[in-house]
Amino acid sequence: MAQVKEITRKLEEIREKIKAEIPWEPVGPTPMPEIPDLRSWDMRLLKTYKPFYAPFCDLCCFCTYGKCDLTENRRGACGIDIATQQARFVLLACLMGCSAHAAHAGHILEFLIEKHGPDKKIDLGTFIELEAPNIRTVTGLKPETLGDLKIAIEYVYKEITHLLDSTHTGQEGSYLDYESKALHASMLDHVGMEVADIAQIVGFGYPTSVADTALVDMGWGSVDRSKPMILVVGHNPATSCTVIDYLRENDLYDKVEVGGICCTALETTRYSDRAKIIGPLSRQLFFIRTGIADVILTDEQCIRTDMPIEASKSGSALIACLDKAMYGLEDATEMDADDIVRQMVEDKKHFAILDPKKAAEVAAKVAMKIAPQRRNEWLTEEEAIELAKKCTHCGMCERVCPNLFALNDGIGEVAKGNFELIKEQFNLCIGCGKCEQECPNKVPIFKIMQVAASKETWKCRAGRGPVMDTEIRNVGAPITLGTIPGIVAFVGCSNYPDIRDVAEMVDEFARRKYIVVLTGCAAMVAGMWKDAEGKTVYEKYPPDFDAGGVVNVGSCVSNAHITGACIKIANIFAALPLRANYEVMADYVLNRVGACGVAWGAMSQKAASIGTGCNRLGIPVILGPHSSKYRRLYLSRKEEDDWRVMDARKRKIVDTGEPSPEHLAYVTETKEKAMVMIPKLCIRKNDTPQGRAIKLNHYISLYKKYMGGGLPEDLHLFVRRDPDIPLVYKKEVRVYLQEIGWKPKEPVGLPTLIGTYPSKVPLDAVIH
Partner 1 sequence: MSAVIPYHRVNVLTGIKSARLIEDAAEYANLIQKAKRPLLVLGPRLLEWSLDGRLLLEYALEIAKTANIPTCATSHVRKKMVELGVKPDSVYDAVEIVNALKDPDWRGVKKEGNHDLVMFFGIRTDLAEQTLSVLKHFAYTHLKTMTLCKFYYPHANYSLPNFRKDEQWKDFLDSLVECLKK
- Residues within the interface to partner 1 (CB under 8 A): 52-59, 69-72, 82-83, 398-402, 404, 497, 625-626, 628-629, 631, 633, 635, 637, 666-670, 672-673, 676-677, 706-710, 713
Q: Which is nearer to partner 1, 70 or 608 (CB)?
A: 70
Q: Which is nearer to partner 1, 22 or 404 (CB)?
A: 404
Using CA atoms, how far residue 759 sits from 652, 753, 755, in Å, is 16, 10, 7
- 42: exposed, middle or buried (Cβ count in 10 Å: 0-12, 13-18, 19+): buried
Minimum separation from the CB atom of position 89 to partner 1 (A)? 12
Q: Which is nearer to partner 1, 44 or 680 (CB)?
A: 680
Q: Which is nearer to partner 1, 87 or 360 (CB)?
A: 87
Minimum separation from the CB atom of position 404 to partner 1 (A)? 5
Q: Which is nearer to partner 1, 333 or 628 (CB)?
A: 628
- Check: CB of residue 622 under 8 Å from CB of residue 662: no
Q: Which is nearer to partner 1, 539 or 641 (CB)?
A: 641
Q: Which is nearer to partner 1, 285 or 462 (CB)?
A: 285
Q: Which is nearer to partner 1, 316 or 427 (CB)?
A: 427
- Check: CB of residue 715 under 8 Å from CB of residue 749: no
| Residue 60, strand partner residues | 68
Q: What is the DSSP letter of 294?
A: S
Q: Which is nearer to partner 1, 402 or 657 (CB)?
A: 402
Minimum separation from the CB atom of position 703 to partner 1 (A)? 9
Sign of the torsion angle spanned by Cα atoms 319, 360, 494, 564: positive
Q: Which is nearer to partner 1, 509 or 703 (CB)?
A: 703
Minimum separation from the CB atom of position 287 to partner 1 (A)? 24
Please give the Cα distance from 626 to 494 (Å, whole number).
Answer: 12
Minimum separation from the CB atom of position 576 to partner 1 (A)? 33
Minimum separation from the CB atom of position 496 to partner 1 (A)? 10
Cis, peptide link before residue 33, omega less than 30° from 0: no
Please give the Cα distance from 367 to 453 (Å, whole number).
Answer: 25
Please give the Cα distance from 611 to 632 (Å, whole number).
Answer: 12
Query: How far does CA 723 lie from the centroid of its chain?
Result: 37
Q: Which is nearer to partner 1, 432 or 475 (CB)?
A: 432
Minimum separation from the CB atom of position 625 to partner 1 (A)? 4
Minimum separation from the CB atom of position 14 to partner 1 (A)? 40
SS (H, E, C) 182-218: HHHHHHHHHHHHHHHHHHHHHHHCCCCCCCCCCEEEE
Q: Which is nearer to partner 1, 368 or 397 (CB)?
A: 397
Please give the Cα distance from 633 to 636 (Å, whole number).
Answer: 10
340 membership: H or E segment, kind and range: helix 337-346
Minimum separation from the CB atom of position 702 to partner 1 (A)? 11
Q: Which is nearer to partner 1, 519 or 668 (CB)?
A: 668
Q: What is the DSSP letter of 715?
A: G
Please give the Cα distance from 30 to 765 (Å, whole number).
Answer: 13
Minimum separation from the CB atom of position 604 to partner 1 (A)? 16
**Biggest CA-to-CA distance, the chain:** 83
Minimum separation from the CB atom of position 186 to partner 1 (A)? 20
Minimum separation from the CB atom of position 69 to partner 1 (A)? 6
Please give the Cα distance from 105 to 99 (Å, whole number).
Answer: 9
Half-sphere exposure of 328 (CA within 13 A, CB side): 5
Burial profile 190-204: b = 16 or more Cβ within 10 angstroms, e = fewer: bbbbbbbbbbbbbbb
Q: How many C-beta neighbours within 10 Å does residue 142 have? A: 18
Q: Which is nearer to partner 1, 7 or 54 (CB)?
A: 54
Secondary structure class of 171 (helix, strand, coil)? coil
**Residue 453 phi/psi, 5° resolution?**
-75, 120
- Check: CB of residue 697 under 8 Å from CB of residue 729: yes
Q: Which is nearer to partner 1, 157 or 706 (CB)?
A: 706
Minimum separation from the CB atom of position 606 to partner 1 (A)? 20
Of 146, 100, 98, 325, the closest CA to residue 233 belongs to: 325
Please give the Cα distance from 308 to 316 (Å, whole number).
Answer: 9
Q: Length of the chain, please? A: 768
Of 274, 256, 266, the closest CA to residue 302 belongs to: 266
Minimum separation from the CB atom of position 735 to partner 1 (A)? 17
Secondary structure class of 431 (helix, strand, coil)? coil
Q: What is the DSSP letter of 570?
A: I
Minimum separation from the CB atom of position 403 to partner 1 (A)? 9
